[in-house]
Amino acid sequence: MFDIGFTELMVIGVVALLVIGPERLPKVARTLGHLLGRAQRYVNDVKSDINREMQLDELKKLQAQVAESARSLEDTVRKEYDSARTTFASPVQDAIADLEASARKIEQDVAAVASPVSTDAKPAVPEKDGSKA
């Protein structure tokens, strides 16, 4: 961060020793160390918050892209489904109508054949009335 070499640190230490004095220098150095540590932690916290926000923005962009892709895929599938439905709906409905007509004709034929037999036919088994003939 700062470009301070060993010689500059020695000069700062000698000046601090002369200005502050030998009795208070350790206490001032400790306090300065605590303050620098706090400042460093604060800077690191700010950096990590910025990184988290950047990652969150990237995730939001990715989520938007995925949502757009999903919408596009859904629209494509819906169009293909509608196209297939309109293409095959008419022949299928025609086939169903033909089957229903055939079923009605068969029912009518069965009813026509069964109705004369049931009205004119006499029972094949004689009724038992208890007396012998």
Q: 75-108 burial, b for 16+ CB within 10 Å, e for fewer?
A: eeeeeeeeeeeeeeeeeeeeeeeeeeeeeeeeee
Q: What is the pLDDT of residues 23-71, one digit of tens each?
A: 888 898 899 999 999 999 999 999 999 999 999 999 999 999 999 999 9
Of the pLDDT bands very low, low, confident and very high (cuts 50, 70, 90), residue 128 is: low
Q: How high is the mean pLDDT of the chain? A: 84
pLDDT of residue 93: 81
Of the pLDDT bands very low, low, confident and very high (cuts 50, 70, 90), residue 129 is: low
Of the pLDDT bands very low, low, confident and very high (cuts 50, 70, 90), residue 133 is: very low
pLDDT of residue 54: 96
